[in-house]
Amino acid sequence: MTAQGAGREPAGDQAAEALRRAIMAAARATRQNRLAERHERLAEETGLPFHRSMAATHRQVAARHRAAAVLQESFARRAAQWSAGRGSRPLFMAEVADACGTRSAALVLVGEDLDQLAVAASDPLARRAQDLEYVLGAGPAHEAASGRLPVAACGTDAERRWPGYGTGLADLGLSAVFAVPLTAASGCIGALTVFDPRPGLAEEGVLGEVAAALADGVLLGADADPGLYGGADLRAVVHQAAGALSEQARCSVGDALELIKARAFAQGESAESVAERILSGELRLSTDRFGID
């Protein structure tokens, strides 16, 4: 078997798994719609508001499962083509961006302190924009996750709202962002951000529907895959480097993490790149340079 063929084998496995998840999500959508129909009939027979409310809830859940099924099926098709030697390498976030009707999209998972635990992007541009928000600690995803509300900004509004981030966004050639929180029963688990969305996207509710599908049917639940078929990158290397740097510089882990982010922003590189150089011994940082006591 050639190296190229071996590289495509996992995509075949991913295609099969994504198709299985798509079928299961579609079946769940069908069950939810049947429950909705039952409550709609009961609402007509009894006139009780309870049944109307339950019908609406089941319809909402069905829509989320259906959206998840579409994402999984689309990814399965892309993965199957790649496995057969056609098309581009499959990336789940690319399907998310397509579903949102935009070119670039990024997803972040956050912890209770809202620090980013993982990131996934549809393309390098979206990844650079999300990395910029990570090193600065401010931006649409952070605000959407902390406020649990949609956030939208463009042009000079983004620059006023998030100094540094808005300017950096413009330097990347991006003029607008729209982010929505990823919510679950346990709270907010992250945010979904699209860059340069098409006109009217914020009003259509599409992004919220996709975010709900991701939270309920992809990232959480019986068929959850938080790794998004290998497309999500953990920030573990950054936190590992922060731990090592805290020992070297004799500062707290939190201050060490800020040192790494500051270095990344100053040098225009990713936090992961700085972290890897710290762990390899290539780079040493001092608290003196950044005014940390």
Say which range, 105-109, 131-135, 196-200, has the weakest mean pLDDT.
196-200
Decide if 186 is inside a domain. Answer: yes
Indicate whether 86 and 180 sit together in one domain.
no
Indicate whether 186 and 273 sit together in one domain.
no
pLDDT tops 90 at residue 280: no
Percent of the residues in the chain that have a pLDDT greater than 90, as a whole number: 56
Indicate whether 157 and 84 sit together in one domain.
no
Indicate whether 116 and 141 sit together in one domain.
yes
Which range marks the domain in which residue 128 is found? 109-230
Give the CB-side neighbour count of residue 16, counting CA atoms within 13 A.
5
Residue with the two structure tokens 């098309």:
87
Would you state the pLDDT for residue 176? 93
Do residues 74 and 80 lie in contact, with contact meaning Cβ atoms separated by under 8 Å? no
Decide if 95 is inside a domain. Answer: no
Count the domains in the chain: 3
233-234 β-sheet, strand order: 151-154, 176-184, 187-195, 104-110, 116-121, 233-234
Bridge partners (DSSP) listed for residue 151? 179
Would you state the pLDDT for residue 9? 55
pLDDT tops 70 at residue 3: no
Decide if 99 is inside a domain. Answer: no
Write the single-letter amino acid at 210.
V
Decide if 103 is inside a domain. Answer: no
Give CA–CA dist 154/169, Å, rounded: 10
Q: Kindly report the pTM of this predicted structure.
A: 0.82
Give CA–CA dist 287/199, Å, rounded: 45
